[in-house]
Chain A
Amino acid sequence: MTRQVVRRLLTLIPLVWLILTLTFIVVQLAPGSYADTIDHPGLSADAREAIRGTYGLDKPATVQYFKWLGATVSGDLGTSFLFKEPVARVISRALPPTILLAGSALIIDLVLGLLIAVTATRRPYGWVDRITTFLSLGVYGLPSFWVAGMLILIFAAWLGWLPASHMHSVGAQEMSGAARLVDLLGHLLLPALSLGLVGAAATARYLRSTLLETRASQFVLAATARGLSRRRILWIHSLRPALLPLITVFGLSLPMLVSGSVVIESVFSWPGMGLVLWRAAQARDIPLIMGVTLIGAAAVIVGSLVADLLYSAADPRAREDA
């Protein structure tokens, strides 16, 4: 087991390097540099040149690349051009909001998808099943930014129940603990729903078909013959094999937990990793772009590893014991 993990991790390091190098090339190929993005009419061409010199942008791309590579390998992510503070600090500030948002979205995705599938398969091809199948097919074609827009329109603009953007209300610092938490949850609900609903539709569609499949299998028949309750058969016997492939899906969506959703975060002005990447890309903030990419790439790799490990823990057939 340990050897398997170590071997996987070692083969994945070149992959991270490749992803980061590709990103570096893309950033270098793009026209303009940080000095050109500073919006200040009084800035002369000489001054912009001086700024390029300050940030080392006047050096050849290969020199910049090896300088960056050396610093990264020794654990130094550099200083953000835009925020004028260490990249590590910018990321550690943006990470918790993104984990909170993406984590809630993932929970909504799984719980809602599971509930819909279980309710629908209680009577397959009944009216509940038909309606939910139709709805989940409909939702799965919707762009998440559109769902976000509709939720804002209904719950923020028309009903006025929930705030349309940001993570805290103005003056939230002065609130008491409980009031602050309620305020945070209110701000969290709409973005989390926008991300989670589309996923829940896919999860429900998938779970519905696997639940129908397991219903017809021999071990469910055997469990029924043994006189087990319907509830026990459903939750213990039918659901376990149906949930297996979801482990892979959720392992693969782990990167989103840390890299965030650029679209949803910018629609809701949610101060997470997606918004940071967005601003970094617009400002040509190379250290910050590389830092966010590094975290994203690492998450992709850890995610697929975790998915594999969980899968082999849950399904003995997938273990390669050697």
Chain B
Amino acid sequence: MNGHRRLRAGVSAVAVLTLVCAIGPLIRSDPPSDPLHAALLPPLTSAVIVTLDDGTRLVAPEVTDDSDRVVVSGAGRSTRVEAARITDLDQYRFWLGSDRFGRDLLRQLMIGGRISLAVSLFSLMMALSIGGLVGIAAATGGPVVDGILMRLVDALLAFPVLFLMILAAALFRPSPLALIVLLGLTSWMGLARLVRGQVLSLRGRPFIAAATTSGSPWHRIVTWHYAPNLAGPVAQDAALRMGDLVLAEATLSFLGLGVPPSVPTWGSLVADGQRTMPDGWWLVVCPGLTIAVLVIGLGLIGDGLQRVESGGGDSDLEGADLVVQRGAGNLQ
């Protein structure tokens, strides 16, 4: 695949997932969860929502008539209700099945996706701001500042990041905000290095010197001369880093260190699914594949941006370094 096709595939995957998570829960009404009759329904099961006159709602894949009574059955149980008591019948399809409490997995995935996406996006923004500021400060602040900041970056980079995240997450009470701060604080170092390198190489270029001699103020030079030239490499790095953050968030949530247990995220959904194993394979498979689609989509965006940047290259040779960097990270 060449750069543009990669970019297109990646952007569509990420955009579709984001839109589904953002809009999906608004379009589809929340089905009542019925742990008795609708627990562990396999994907694609079509169920009937039976509303009774006292307001209780039963959800079951099978509803049959038995003279004046209606048999509501599913998940190995059946309940008989008088036909006269039924006020409403509704169809509901569990596209991805249900969990052991009878909750719709697709809906859980969409709600969880909002948290997972928001946490990784906000921590990425935090990493970008810290990394950008440190990088610019190191590149422009003189040799002493540069030396101190870069030694600090080296020290933090040398530290296994997931180790630090797990340690901190185990020590502090989990909350979405704490998670964002934790992920943001542990993933800005690569960006700081990248920005510093880019600024240093840009500083010697003639157009910067031209802007300085023609008397442009520094903020103008930063916004109109540095920023546009930094955007490409930073965007590339940000796409790949966001993939890492999605995986890190999922890992922490999987270990129960992310958000509180009441809030579903993709990682905690996998953990929930593994608790019901060997029943309900879809509860493990679906959230895992969703994470994978998002991470691969982000990876394709990063790869694609790099190829397009380096001249739309059709060759498969570029991007190898990025894979190697990530390979080492994956081992953790």
B281 lies within 8 A of A153 (CB): yes
The contact size tier of chain B is 35 or more
**Identity of the chain B residue whose Cβ is nearest the Cβ of A18 in the assembled complex:** B155
Q: Residues of A contacting B319 with CB < 8 Å?
A: 209
Q: Residues of B contacting A145 with CB < 8 Å?
A: 250-251, 254, 267, 270
Query: Which among A60-68, A232-240, A276-284 touches the partner chain?
Result: A276-284
A141 lies within 8 A of B155 (CB): no
Question: Which of A18, A266, A296 is within 8 Å of B163, CB to CB?
Answer: A296
Q: Residues of B contacting A15 with CB < 8 Å?
A: 151, 154-155, 158
Within 8 A of A (CB), among B283-303: 284-285, 287-288, 291-296, 299
Kindly name the residue among B168, B267, B328 whose own CB sees the greatest number of chain A CB atoms within 10 A. Answer: B328
Q: Residues of A contacting B85 with CB < 8 Å?
A: none
Interface code B314-332, partner A: CB below 8 Å = 1, 0 otherwise?
0011011001101110111
Q: Residues of B contacting A293 with CB < 8 Å?
A: 163, 167
A116 to B105, CA, bound (A): 36
B332 lies within 8 A of A256 (CB): yes
| CB contact under 8 A between A31 and B247, given known A105-B331, A138-B296, A213-B317 | no
| CB contact under 8 A between A149 and B292, given known A212-B317, A262-B162, A281-B171 | no
- CB of B45 closer than 8 Å to a CB of A: no
A297 lies within 8 A of B255 (CB): no
Kindly name the residue among A146, A152, A301 whose own CB sees the greatest number of chain B CB atoms within 10 A. Answer: A146
Q: Residues of B contacting A18 with CB < 8 Å?
A: 152, 155
**Identity of the chain A residue whose Cβ is nearest the Cβ of B298 in the assembled complex:** A141
A143 to B287, CA, bound (A): 10
A138 to B289, CA, bound (A): 9
Q: Residues of A contacting B291 with CB < 8 Å?
A: 141-143, 146
Q: Residues of A contacting B287 with CB < 8 Å?
A: 146
Q: Residues of A contacting B332 with CB < 8 Å?
A: 256, 261
Q: Residues of B contacting A282 with CB < 8 Å?
A: 170
CB distance from B5 to the nearest CB of A (A): 13
A300 lies within 8 A of B158 (CB): yes
| CB contact under 8 A between A297 and B274, given known A143-B251, A209-B320 | no
- Specify the main secondary structure of chain B where it touches its partner: helix
- CB of A99 closer than 8 Å to a CB of B: no
Q: Residues of B contacting A138 with CB < 8 Å?
A: 292, 296
Question: Which of A105, A149, A304 is within 8 Å of B270, CB to CB?
Answer: A149
**18 A-B pairs (CB sep. < 8 Å):** A26-B164, A30-B171, A140-B296, A141-B295, A143-B288, A144-B330, A146-B270, A146-B287, A153-B278, A202-B326, A256-B331, A261-B331, A261-B332, A262-B166, A263-B251, A282-B170, A296-B163, A301-B158
Residues of B that sit less than 8 Å from A by CB: 151-152, 154-155, 158-160, 162-164, 166-168, 170-173, 243, 247, 250-251, 254-255, 267, 270, 273-274, 277-278, 281, 284-285, 287-288, 291-296, 299, 316-317, 319-320, 323-324, 326-328, 330-332
Residues of A that sit less than 8 Å from B by CB: 15, 18-19, 22-23, 26-27, 29-31, 105-106, 109, 137-138, 140-146, 149-150, 152-153, 157-158, 195, 198-199, 202-203, 205-206, 208-210, 212-213, 245-246, 248-249, 252-253, 255-256, 259, 261-263, 266-267, 277-278, 281-282, 284, 289, 293, 296-297, 300-301, 304
